[in-house]
Amino acid sequence: MCALYVDVGYLLSSAAVRATGTSLRSGVHVAYAPLIDALVHEAERMSGLPAVRLHWYDSAKDGVPDPQQERIGELAKVKLRLGRFGMDGQQKGVDLRIGLDLVTHARNGAADVFILVSGDDDLTEAVEEAQVHGVQVILLAVPNAENKPHGISRHLIRAADGLDILPPETLDQTVVKVEMPPPSAPQSVAPSAGQPPVRATPRDLAGLGHPGSRRSSSALVYSAATGREPQVMTAYEDPDELAKQIDSVVINVLTAFRKSATMEALAELKAGKPSIPRDIDKALLTDLSDLRGEYDLSEHVRHKLRTRFWEAYDEAR
């Protein structure tokens, strides 16, 4: 038997990059059932074994599934495993759940071959520990625009027993770019799983808040969304390369959002200023991290990125 372990954050953000040029998940429409069927089929082809189960790892507010995630969890042989959103809007607990499941299932002999859809370096040790118990772990990557593996850690590749990519046509058929609905049809586009629309509260805008408050719905431009007072940045010029990279990421994300957003979403973005909605902020940080090859952006770079977002927003109005 084989089993699949799908890091949904990796899968959909990488697929969004292929479809739109940015990792903004709200910029794509996902046909979840056909995509999951295709993942199972590909895993069975790679391993030559029937699939016992697909584990679907995503994030949700307070760990509570939204309607789309509930529907996914009701699909045959799909096990829904949810983390939560942290104070900075990033997913928390997902990597830990994947790692623990890999090791526990390997120890219990749940399957002979594990297919892992993720590129996260943090899973390297879990992969190696699972292999100690006699299972093979093969990576299944999302192809980029050149049909090469997108966003896979080199350490993870070295630890795994093999690397393959999803058939490009599978993604092109199941993850497609969302275009803005015409003005005469303002009905909203369903948000991606785990990404409910949010509005900044007065507490958010004042930069107050504390751990445990509801500030996780957005990220303040002038802080790291930690509930602290904004840090005063030293005044000096950014290197030209950094400025160009930030401009490229901001324009791509803002363009993708405007092409897919409803009038209501556009109004919420404007009303929430200077807070950046969680899905947009995550796309900005992810895309710049990928472009710079940095896992963790500095506070200074994050500050510049978020400030530039609102500058570009105002310039384009």
CATH of the domain at 62: 3.40.50.1010
Domain presence at residue 186: no
Domain presence at residue 192: no
Within this chain, do residues 143 and 60 fall inside the same structural domain, yes or no?
yes
Domain presence at residue 43: yes
pLDDT in tens, 103-131: 999 999 999 999 999 999 999 999 999 99
What pLDDT, on a 0 to 100 scale, did the predictor assign at position 188? 38
pLDDT in tens, 40-84: 999 999 999 999 999 999 988 877 888 999 999 999 999 999 986
Residue 159 has pLDDT above 60, yes or no: yes
Within this chain, do residues 162 and 230 fall inside the same structural domain, yes or no?
no
Question: For residues 260-272, b (16+ Cβ closer than 10 Å) or e, as one string?
Answer: bbbeebeebbeeb
Within this chain, do residues 228 and 135 fall inside the same structural domain, yes or no?
no
Within this chain, do residues 207 and 150 fall inside the same structural domain, yes or no?
no
Within this chain, do residues 20 and 154 fall inside the same structural domain, yes or no?
yes
Q: What does the pLDDT average to over 174-201?
A: 51
Question: For residues 211-221, b (16+ Cβ closer than 10 Å) or e, as one string?
Answer: eeeebbbbbbb
Within this chain, do residues 66 and 149 fall inside the same structural domain, yes or no?
yes
Assign 87 a pLDDT band (cuts: 50, 70, 90): low
Report how far residue 63's alpha carbon sits from residue 59's, in angstroms, rounded to the nearest whole number.
7
Q: What does pTM read for this prediction? A: 0.71
Domain presence at residue 191: no
Q: What is the secondary structure of 294-310 as a DSSP string?
A: -SS--HHHHHHHHHHHH
Mean of pLDDT over the chain? 80
More confident residue, 103 or 23: 103
What pLDDT, on a 0 to 100 scale, did the predictor assign at position 282? 84
Within this chain, do residues 212 and 166 fall inside the same structural domain, yes or no?
no
Domain presence at residue 188: no
Residue 19 has pLDDT above 60, yes or no: yes
Residue 192 has pLDDT above 80, yes or no: no
Within this chain, do residues 33 and 165 fall inside the same structural domain, yes or no?
yes
Within this chain, do residues 77 and 153 fall inside the same structural domain, yes or no?
yes
Find tokens 């219990």 and name the residue: 108
Q: How many domains does the chain have?
A: 2
Instruction: Report the share of the chain in percent with pLDDT over 70.
Output: 78
Give the torsion sign (CA, 270, 273, 279, 284): positive
Within this chain, do residues 10 and 146 fall inside the same structural domain, yes or no?
yes
More confident residue, 257 or 127: 127
Within this chain, do residues 134 and 216 fall inside the same structural domain, yes or no?
no
pLDDT in tens, 166-187: 999 999 999 998 876 544 443 4
Structural domain including 104 reads 2-177
Instruction: Report the share of the chain in percent with pLDDT over 90.
Output: 44
Distances from the Cα of 314 to the Cαs of 107, 203, 205, 256, in angstroms? 55, 23, 18, 16
Q: What does the pLDDT average to over 130-138?
A: 95
Within this chain, do residues 20 and 111 fall inside the same structural domain, yes or no?
yes
